[in-house]
Amino acid sequence: MHAPTTTRRFTLSLLATSCLATTGLLAMPRAAFAFDAPGWPAAAFSKKTEADAIAALYGQKLTASDKIRLEAPDIAENGAVVPVSVSTTLPNVTRISLMASHNPFTLAADYVLPAGTEPAVACRLKMAKTSDVIAIVESNGKIYGARKSVKVTLGGCGG
C-alpha cells in the first residue's frame, strides 16, 4: 500500500465517484448535512479508497489471513442486495469491517463485537460495480484481511 498506487487509486475512484454523483454533493463536507449518531466513525465512512478507510478506522497495515471465511457471490444477482457473510477462527475478535473497493465510499459496514459475541456476521450490501469485497477482522488489536471479487452487472435486457 505505498504512496504512488494510493494516489492513482485515489484519482481513479474520484473519477468513478464524480461520474456517479453530482460534484455539488461531494463539494459539501459530509458532516454538514448529516446528523452524526454518537460513535459513528464519520471520517472512515467518508473515505474513498481502501487504504484511507483502513487508516481512518484502524491506523495500521492490513495483513492477509486465511483464517477468515468471507462468503460473497461470484456474480451478484443484484448489486443493490449482495449477501455477504464473514466468520473467523482468529481469537479475541473485537471488530469486523466490510468494504467494497470500487464503491464511492469504500467502507460499507463496521461491526463492534464485545467479549462474548462470536466472531461472525452476515448482512446485505450494495456494490456500485464489479470489485472486491474486503473483510477486516481486528483480533488481539491487530487487523487481518480477506478479499473476494464479486462481479456486478446490470440486470435484464433493460430495453
Partner 1 sequence: MFHSRLRAAALLAGMLGAMVLAQAPARAAPAPNPEADRLAFQAYFRKNYPAVKNSDWGNGPYALNAGMRKQWEAIMQFPPYEFALAAGEKEFNRKFANGRSYADCFPNKGIGIRQNYPYFDTKTGEVVTLGIAINRCRVANGEKPLGYKKGLLAAIETYMAHTSRGKPFDIKVPNDPRALAAYEAGKKFFYSRRGQLNFSCASCHVQKAGHRLRGDILAPALGIMAAFPIYRSKWGEMGTIQWRFVGCNKQVRSVPFKPQSKIYRDLEYFLSYMSNGVPITGPGARP
Partner 2 sequence: MSSTIRVRAVASGGTTVVQALINHPMDSGFVKNSKGKLIPPHYIEVLTFEHAGKKVFTAFWGPAVSKDPYIKFTFKGGAKGDDLKISWVDNLGKHDSLTAKLVG
Interaction between residue 75 and partner 2 (CB under 8 A): no
Distance from C-alpha of 94 to C-alpha of 128, rounded to nearest angstrom: 28
Interaction between residue 29 and partner 1 (CB under 8 A): no
Q: Which of 85, 84, 99 minimizes the C-alpha distance to 49?
A: 99
Q: Which run of H or of E encompasses 149?
A: strand 142-150
- First vs last Cα of the chain: how many Å apart? 42
Rg (the chain; Cα; Å): 16
Residue 55 contacts residue 106 (beta carbons within 8 Å): no
Interaction between residue 78 and partner 1 (CB under 8 A): yes
Size of interface with partner 2, in residues (CB under 8 A) = 42
**How many CB atoms sit inside 10 A of residue 129's CB?**
17
Binding track, positions 135-154, relative to partner 1; x by CB under 8 A = -----------------xxx
Identify the residue among 2, 3, 4, 22 touching partner 2 (CB under 8 A).
22
Cβ at position 134, least distance to partner 1 in Å: 19
Identify the residue among 72, 82, 136, 152 touching partner 2 (CB under 8 A).
82
Distance from C-alpha of 73 to C-alpha of 71, rounded to nearest angstrom: 7
Interaction between residue 91 and partner 2 (CB under 8 A): no
**How many CB atoms sit inside 10 A of residue 102's CB?**
18
Nearer to partner 1 among residue 51 and residue 96 (C-beta): 96
Q: Give residues 108-147 in contact with partner 2 (rule: CB under 8 A).
A: 108-114, 116-118, 120-128
Identify the residue among 8, 61, 69, 124 touching partner 1 (CB under 8 A).
124
Interaction between residue 158 and partner 1 (CB under 8 A): yes
Positions touching partner 1 (CB under 8 A) are 73-83, 85, 122, 124, 152-159
